[in-house]
């Protein structure tokens, strides 16, 4: 019976763990839905802003801006976006693996970091890379105002030529089951990378727009002075909401898998417990029968 008691204790412990993981799964699912809606609803606006910025920059002709120019001095700046908490399955491992792959081609004295999230801080702490700033414990619902300190820090450093380039590494939200580690260049803003429209409608629209000359009010310089910094702010905002949606999706899936595994363990232990209990009962019956026959 001692073996049966041990198995019963393990069953009780596993049930307690399943209750915890089930509760965490429900909490993550609730947060995931809100984060997904935010990420999906803001993406069309970010894409349209990028398109508008591209047209203004092209139509302005030879007009240049500090955020469009390449810097040939300074170090490469990486903005690494992670979560503050764990229990997200393999999401963080995939993110840091992509970061390691990117850093193989860069000397340690040629890179700096802005880190978002405590997990990114723990990752960078194991390396010798310089950290420019850290942003942790951001609100659960990301607002554009929360991104302004990061955006201004990045833009000011680039304008002062402290950074040669700025790249963002984060988990891009594709679906509830798929989150992909992504590396996107932020600065300098490369209008050339936005050359090819994806849809047929965009191709037709671009062809029609190219036949007309834009008249700016106010001047092209004033328009670019406003739209380029705003584009950087929205880019960082979209990155953070995508990363947050990925975090909650990965955590919900991880907790669901943990709950399912706990249920399988409970079923196996219950079967083992019943066998041990039946064996103990059978043994006791044999002892009684044997003693009765000897008497």
Task: Compute the distance between CA of residue 200 and CA of residue 209 in angstroms, rounded to an integer.
Answer: 14
> What residue spans of 86-219 are helical by DSSP H?
91-103, 118-125, 144-159, 200-209
C-alpha separations of 243 from 5, 65, 147, 233, 234 in Å: 46, 29, 13, 15, 14
**How many whole angstroms from its chain centre is CA 127?**
21
Strand order in the sheet with 75-81: 130-135, 111-116, 75-81, 163-173, 179-187
Does residue 87 come out as left (phi exceeding 0), alpha (psi in the -120 to 50 range) or beta? left
**So what's the pLDDT on residue 200?**
45
Domain annotation for the chain: domains and CATH numbers: 2-27+252-289 (1.10.287.80), 34-250 (3.40.1380.10)
**So what's the pLDDT on residue 196?**
42
Task: Compute the distance between CA of residue 75 and CA of residue 108 in angstroms, rounded to an integer.
Answer: 10
**So what's the pLDDT on residue 202?**
53
**So what's the pLDDT on residue 7?**
83
Which segments of the chain have a pLDDT < 70?
1-2, 58-63, 192-216, 293-295
CA angle 172, 173, 179 (to 5 degrees): 80
**Polymer length in residues for the chain:** 295
Task: Compute the distance between CA of residue 150 and CA of residue 243 in angstroms, rounded to an integer.
Answer: 15
């Amino acid at each position: 019976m001692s073996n049966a008691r041990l198995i019963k204790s393990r069953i009780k412990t596993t049930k307690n763990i399943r209750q915890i993981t089930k509760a965490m799964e429900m909490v993550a699912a609730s947060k995931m839905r809100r984060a997904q809606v935010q990420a999906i609803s803001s993406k069309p606006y970010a894409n349209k802003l990028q398109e508008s910025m591209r047209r203004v920059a092209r139509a302005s002709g030879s007009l240049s801006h500090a955020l469009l120019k390449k810097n040939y001095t300074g170090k490469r700046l990486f903005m690494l976006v992670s979560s503050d908490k764990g229990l997200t399955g393999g999401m963080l491992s995939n993110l840091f693996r992509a970061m390691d792959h990117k850093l193989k081609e860069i000397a340690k004295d040629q890179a700096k970091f802005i880190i978002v999230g405590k997990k990114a801080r723990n990752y960078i702490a194991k390396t010798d890379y310089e950290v420019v700033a850290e942003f942790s414990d951001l609100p659960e619902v990301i607002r554009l105002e929360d991104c302004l300190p990061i955006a201004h820090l990045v833009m000011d450093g680039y304008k002062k030529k402290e950074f040669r380039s700025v790249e963002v590494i984060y988990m891009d939200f594709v679906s509830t089951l798929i989150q992909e580690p992504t590396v996107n260049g932020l600065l300098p803003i490369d209008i050339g990378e936005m050359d090819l429209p994806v849809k047929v409608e965009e191709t037709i629209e671009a062809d029609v727009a190219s036949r007309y000359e834009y008249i700016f009010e106010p001047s092209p310089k004033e328009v670019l002075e406003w739209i380029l910094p705003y584009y950087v702010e929205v880019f960082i905002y979209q990155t953070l909401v995508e990363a947050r949606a990925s975090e909650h999706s990965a955590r919900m899936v991880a907790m669901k898998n943990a709950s399912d595994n706990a249920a399988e363990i409970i079923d196996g232990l219950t079967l083992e417990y019943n066998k041990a209990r039946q064996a103990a009962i059978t043994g006791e019956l044999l002892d009684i029968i044997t003693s009765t026959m000897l008497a």
